[in-house]
Each structure stands twice: as structure tokens, then as C-alpha cells.
Amino acid sequence: MMALLKWPIKNTNKELSERHLWQLFNSLNDVVLALDKDQKILTVNQCWQNLTGVSVDQSLDLPLNHFIHPEDINQWHQLLQRLSPDQSELIWFRLLHSSGEFRWCEMRIQSMRESSLYPLSATLCDITPQVRNEQIRQASHRSLQSLVNRLPAMLYRTRNNISWTIDYVSGGCQALTGYSTDELLNQLEISIGTMIHPDYASYVWEGVQGALQQYSSFDLEYVLVQKDGKEIWVRDKGHGQYSESGVVLGVEGFIFQTQRKNHD
């Protein structure tokens, strides 16, 4: 069995015994542990078993990296190398469960003494639900982005200037214009404004500005000049972005190729 630590107890509080303090220690919902100079577990509370599926008695005197996911051990060693007695460090890693699954943990670790690095004390918080939710959001974002980039159209967000400087553009820009996203983003020399045929520049500007003033959407057709100089008819549908006070922050929409002009 693990040896009890000596807890500082005020003489005025006789009822708060060492046993009560251990009950408090083991009631915590986060793991609290201490490590020796070989990073072996000196003591740990009962929450550890919930996180790893391994009992406290079976875990004592085992190095912590015995429970860390193999892909995360290197960053654990890197943390130990930069740790000093006067600082604490924060790290995320996966802790292996006896079932074969793993749990994402956030660890705060620091020295227990001012004069030497060891022993170390650490708290571990199970952040698996948050990480999984974030992974789901990222996967959904990647799926949506992939869908957007496969569309036979160019989704965009621009500034409301005469050049229509591009702040965002989807991967469909390559097929539509011949330009890559890198060639179009935040460029003054190449923008939607420079690709609009000169005969339609005023028509587009006035059409968009009129819609912005009315807080309505626009639907325009015009000739766009591709990178190789080829002229194509496109349809441009979009609307403005506004601040809470009604100031125009930008314009967003999508452009796709049409076969013929629908109006004079």
C-alpha cells in the first residue's frame, strides 16, 4: 500500500484527520500525482483509475510514460528537458486506458520544491470530450471545404473597393479564372476587378453599390477575362456584409460560368 504523506493540520482543527484529507484527495475529479526523478509515480489519487483503468496500487513506482501514448512520449521528454524548478508547464497528450482506448489529457506540471526540480507534482484533466468535439468540427469543416472547392463556381469575399480585392476565394477559382487561390488572395494586381471586362466594370460597380445601399442581394451577368485572355460570360450573385451600425464591411457571393447573356 502507498505510504501516507504527512499533511499539515492545524491543532485547532482536531477533526480534520489525515484520513479525512485522503478522502478529500481521492474525491477530486482531476488526477493529482507526484513523480520522482525517474518520473515514476510516487502517489496518485483514485481518479487515476477512472482515467486509465489501472488501480493506484498497480501504478505506483511505474514511470508515467508507461501510460502515455507512444506518439506523445517524445513531446513528454521535451517538456521534461525544458522544465525548471521555478516554472510550471502545460502539455496535452493521450493517456492509454487498459481497454486499449486513450483519453486526451491536459497536464499542468511543476516542481514541488524551490531548490530542486524533483519531486514533481502534476494535475491531469480529462479533455477528451472537448478534443473530440473539436475534431468533429474540424472534420466537418474539411468536408465542407472540400465540397466548396469541388463546386464548378468561385465563392468569394471581397473588400468594397473598385478592385474588389479578394479576402477569401474557393478552389473553384482555378477552373473559372485560370488563377490559383494564392494568385488571387490579397492581391492588388490581380482581383475580381481586374478580371471584369472593362466594358462591364461600371455596370458591375453600380449594380453592387445599388444593392448595398438597399441592403439587398445582387444578381449580375458580365464578361470575365481569364488568365489566358479568354473571355467568358459569368453570373455573379452576392450580398453585402455589414457592421451593427450598417457600415459595409465587404461583399460575398459566388460566380459561375453561363452560356449566354440573359439581358441587354
Specify the pLDDT at position 261: 55
The share of the chain scoring above pLDDT 90, in percent, equals 50
DSSP state of 9: -
Q: Is 140 left (phi over 0), alpha (psi -120 to 50) or beta?
A: alpha
- On the question of pLDDT at 262 being above 60, the answer is no
Given CA atoms 73, 74, 75, 79 in this order, what sign does their dihedral have? positive
> Are 42 and 120 in contact, with CB atoms under 8 Å apart?
no
Q: Which domains does the chain have, with CATH numbers?
A: 19-133 (3.30.450.20), 151-257 (3.30.450.20)
Task: Summarize the confidence of residues 232-250 as an average pLDDT.
Answer: 92
Check residue 63 and report its DSSP letter. B
Structure-model confidence comparison of residues 83 and 10, the more confident one: 83
Matching residue, cell 517524445? 74
pTM over 0.85: no
